[in-house]
Amino acid sequence: MREIELRRSIRKYKSKPVEMSIINSLIESARLAPSGSNTQPWHFIVITDDKIKNDVATVSHNQKWMLTAPVFIVCVADIASRIANSEDIELDETSPQFELKQIIRDTSIAIEHIVLNAITFDLGTCWVAWFTQKEIRSVLGIPGNKFVVSILTVGYPDENPNPRRRKDLKEIIHINKW
Ligand SMILES: Cc1cc2nc3c(=O)[nH]c(=O)nc-3n(C[C@H](O)[C@H](O)[C@H](O)COP(=O)(O)O)c2cc1C
């Protein structure tokens, strides 16, 4: 698939804004993603406000390059999709719930739909997951029973990185048994 081969993590973007209709198409591709028992645990916070972007980049270990992207999409997994009355659950990196793994798994599928669909609009993206739940939650007012899986930076690329090395097929394929 062309999009899979062309995708790179982009860390330098043009200032050209991204039309909201395109952002909607990206989120639409996430909406159509598969999920265990069709639970659809995902939510997306679209950020274009400079002050909020700045706060998000700061809690992401001050990755300044992020600020070149006109849009951030903060991708959030909601455990309420799997646990009734989840309001009192406080999720973080050490949480033991098996359901947390399931909502992270499902939300990650939806996130990668966005990443691949972005290529069809000549947009670049980068996954960012170097933050703590506590800090990103407080910047964006996200309740404790949600888990921020990643931030996607989105914009028109202003760099053209070479493909990064991947393991050979023979290192990762197992036929019939491990
Ligand atoms: C879950 C996840 C978290 C990541 N977090 C960051 C990050 O915080 N900062 C960053 O610059 N890149 C981040 N990346 C991008 C990876 O470094 C990148 O995907 C990897 O080096 C391979 O390069 P490629 O995406 O261009 O093929 C992340 C990627 C993933 C999948």
Indicate the top mutation candidate among 4, 8, 9, 136 to test ligand 1's pocket, ranked by most ligand atoms within 8 A of CB.
9
Terminus-to-terminus CA distance in the chain, angstroms? 27
Which residue has the least CA distance to atom 31 on ligand 1? 127
**Cβ of 4 below 6 Å from ligand 1:** no
pLDDT for the residue numbered 19:
98
> Can you tell me the distance from the alpha carbon of 99 to that of 89, in angstroms, rounded to the nearest whole number?
12
Q: Report the phi/psi class of residue 13: left, alpha or beta, with left for phi > 0 and alpha for psi in -120 to 50.
A: beta
pLDDT at 1: 84
Q: Residue with structure tokens 């159509």?
A: 32
- How far CA 173 is from CA of 1, 4, 109, 169, 176, in Å, comes to 19, 19, 21, 6, 10
* Ordered per-residue pLDDT tens for the chain, 178 residues: 899 999 999 999 999 999 999 999 999 999 999 999 999 999 999 999 999 999 999 999 999 999 999 999 999 999 999 999 999 999 999 999 999 999 999 999 999 999 999 999 999 999 999 999 999 999 999 999 999 999 999 999 999 999 999 999 999 999 999 9
> Taking the domains of the chain in order of start, what are their residue ranges?
2-172
* d(CA 125, ligand 1 centre) in Å: 10
Residue 75 beta carbon below 6 angstroms from any ligand 1 atom: no
2-172 topology per CATH: NADH Oxidase (3.40.109)
Which residues have C-beta within 8 Å of that of residue 163, sequence separation ≥ 6?
Answer: 8
What residue's CA is closest to ligand 1, atom 28?
127
Res 36: pLDDT: 98
Check pocket membership of 90 for ligand 1, CB cut-off 6 A.
no
